[in-house]
Amino acid sequence: MSQLFLSSLTLAHYRSHQVSKLKLDGRPVALFGLNGAGKTNVLEAVSMFSPGRGMRRAAAADMVRRPEALGWKLTGVLHSLGRIHEVETSSDGAARQVKIDEKPASQIALGRIARVLWLVPSMDRLWIEGADGRRRFLDRIALSFEPLHAEASLGYEKAMRERNRLLKDQVQDAHWYRALERQMADSGEAIIRNRKTAVAKILDAQAKSQSAFPAAELTLTHAEVALPETSDALEDAFASGRARDMAAGRALIGPHRADLEAVYAAKGVPAKDCSTGEQKALLVSLILANARGLAEDIGMPPLLLLDEVAAHLDVQRRAALYDEICALGAQAWMTGTGAELFETMGDRAQYFEVTDEAGISACHAVVSGIDDGGDA
């Protein structure tokens, strides 16, 4: 099986980093340092090598280091499916640009050569907050398996916004709705198919693994009524629901109303009713299952971004997580406040201490917990 990894990463005028360079060898990466030093900014930088707005869902203009810079640039050498690519993504403070091997490229093209999964502290409340976060979580899984999922989602959302505008303006002429509803139906069918496929692959990966983390039963649901799954059935549902949608001022049926329900399989307890630790363990389990499914699907494990994950696991679960990451062969990027959180990794990982020196983040290479004296 091939390995997907970055062998170098440079952050220029990105967030708290003026210029930070890391040289890597494919092993998992442990970043440690005080809160606010800039560790999560490094993980976010790696997430920008995938389609979308990254793990913080921030606007490109918000990522620039102020006040001395007007834009930012991230460059990396990416090893993917036996090939080496020079990847660059940057912003002049407005739009985001992508280059692959020095040629302008789309974000979808990024998704074909790099698959990136992440688990961040804000996701800890995934099962107890609104459905929006769970849909985003599900769509990231679907996108990891099918890069064109982003295109379908954008097409659906654009058509739905325009249709909602007509609804709010109380436009009665059916002619104005038909083309938009056709576009929503075509994109919606792809979204539903990709989500169902992603859930099936996650469940299959769980069934095949001997993970130390609890398996989850996953179910796709929809608000209010059953969701049609074919393009023609969706188009009919949009057309027949116009009067109700007009009263509400928005579309009341469609994949944008879907939800993901999870049950702690061994206990038969809904995830929302589990303890905080159990909910975290279920999230870790799903991320690992997603990674295994991708490894089987595309022949290489994804890049994993695990922000502060070690702090919320006991010593045994922490060691189990590291063992599973190494068995998978994934380049996992992990953050924590101290090097001791990663000691069971031993020499299976590379270590970097992230410091905040005069307001400028810097990454220092560390060997077996001892500073080697130089910047990475």
Q: What is the pLDDT of residues 247-270, one digit of tens each?
A: 999 999 999 999 999 999 999 999
Within a domain: residue 120? Answer: no
Say whether pLDDT at 145 is over 50: yes
Quickly tell me which residue has 């869902």 as its tokens. Answer: 57
Contact (Cβ atoms closer than 8 angstroms) between residue 140 and residue 304: no
Q: Are residues 89 and 151 in the same domain?
A: no
Predicted local distance difference test score (pLDDT) of residue 166: 97
Predicted local distance difference test score (pLDDT) of residue 38: 96
What is the per-residue pLDDT across 205-235, written as a single tens digit (0 to 9) for each?
999 998 999 999 999 998 767 888 899 999 9
Taking residues 66-82, what's their average pLDDT?
Answer: 92
Within a domain: residue 13? Answer: yes
With cut-offs at 50, 70 and 90, classify the pLDDT of residue 368.
Answer: low
Within a domain: residue 329? Answer: yes
Say whether pLDDT at 369 is over 80: no
Q: Which helix (H) or strand (E) holds 352?
A: strand 350-357
Say whether pLDDT at 75 is over 70: yes
Q: Are residues 358 and 313 in the same domain?
A: yes
The average confidence (pLDDT) of the chain is 93
Predicted local distance difference test score (pLDDT) of residue 370: 42
As a whole-number percent, the residues of the chain with pLDDT over 90 amount to 88
* Strands 360-367 and 83-91, bridge-based pairing: unpaired
Q: Are residues 209 and 292 in the same domain?
A: yes
Predicted local distance difference test score (pLDDT) of residue 373: 38
Taking residues 106-132, what's their average pLDDT?
Answer: 94
Domain boundary among 234, 263, 296: 296
Predicted local distance difference test score (pLDDT) of residue 186: 98
Within a domain: residue 313? Answer: yes
Burial of 49 (0-12, 13-18, 19+ CB in 10 A): buried
Q: Which domain holds residue 145?
A: 125-296
Say whether pLDDT at 147 is over 60: yes
Within a domain: residue 190? Answer: yes
Within a domain: residue 62? Answer: yes
Q: Are residues 200 and 266 in the same domain?
A: yes
Within a domain: residue 103? Answer: yes
Contact (Cβ atoms closer than 8 angstroms) between residue 336 and residue 30: yes
3 state DSSP class of 91: strand
Q: Are residues 94 and 134 in the same domain?
A: no
Domain boundary among 248, 268, 296: 296
Say whether pLDDT at 246 is over 50: yes
Integer-rounded Cα radius of gyration of the chain: 22
Q: Are residues 37 and 99 in the same domain?
A: yes
Q: Are residues 150 and 283 in the same domain?
A: yes
Q: Identify the CA nearest to 34 among candidates 306, 236, 308.
A: 308
Q: Are residues 160 and 285 in the same domain?
A: yes
Contact (Cβ atoms closer than 8 angstroms) between residue 187 and residue 232: no
What is the per-residue pLDDT across 159-191, written as a single tens digit (0 to 9) for each?
999 999 999 999 999 999 999 999 999 999 999
With cut-offs at 50, 70 and 90, classify the pLDDT of residue 372.
Answer: very low
With cut-offs at 50, 70 and 90, classify the pLDDT of residue 358.
Answer: confident
- Give me the CATH number covering residue 354: 3.40.50.300
What's the number of domains the chain is made of?
2
Say whether pLDDT at 374 is over 60: no
Q: Are residues 314 and 359 in the same domain?
A: yes
Q: Are residues 330 and 185 in the same domain?
A: no
Q: Are residues 183 and 258 in the same domain?
A: yes
Predicted local distance difference test score (pLDDT) of residue 118: 97
Q: Are residues 218 and 283 in the same domain?
A: yes
As a whole-number percent, the residues of the chain with pLDDT over 70 amount to 97
Domain boundary among 296, 323, 340: 296
Within a domain: residue 5? Answer: yes
- Give me the CATH number covering residue 262: 1.20.1050.90
Distances (CA, A) of 279 to 195, 203, 262, 312, 351: 22, 17, 10, 11, 28
Give the span between the Cα atoms of 126 and 118, in whole angstroms: 13
What is the per-residue pLDDT across 20-65, written as a single tens digit (0 to 9) for each?
999 999 999 999 999 999 999 999 999 999 998 999 999 999 999 9
Say whether pLDDT at 304 is over 60: yes
Predicted local distance difference test score (pLDDT) of residue 140: 95
Taking residues 310-335, what's their average pLDDT?
Answer: 93
Predicted local distance difference test score (pLDDT) of residue 171: 95
Encode burial over 76-109: b for 16+ CB neighbours within 10 A, e otherwise. bbbbbeeeebebbbbbeeeebebbbeeeebebeb
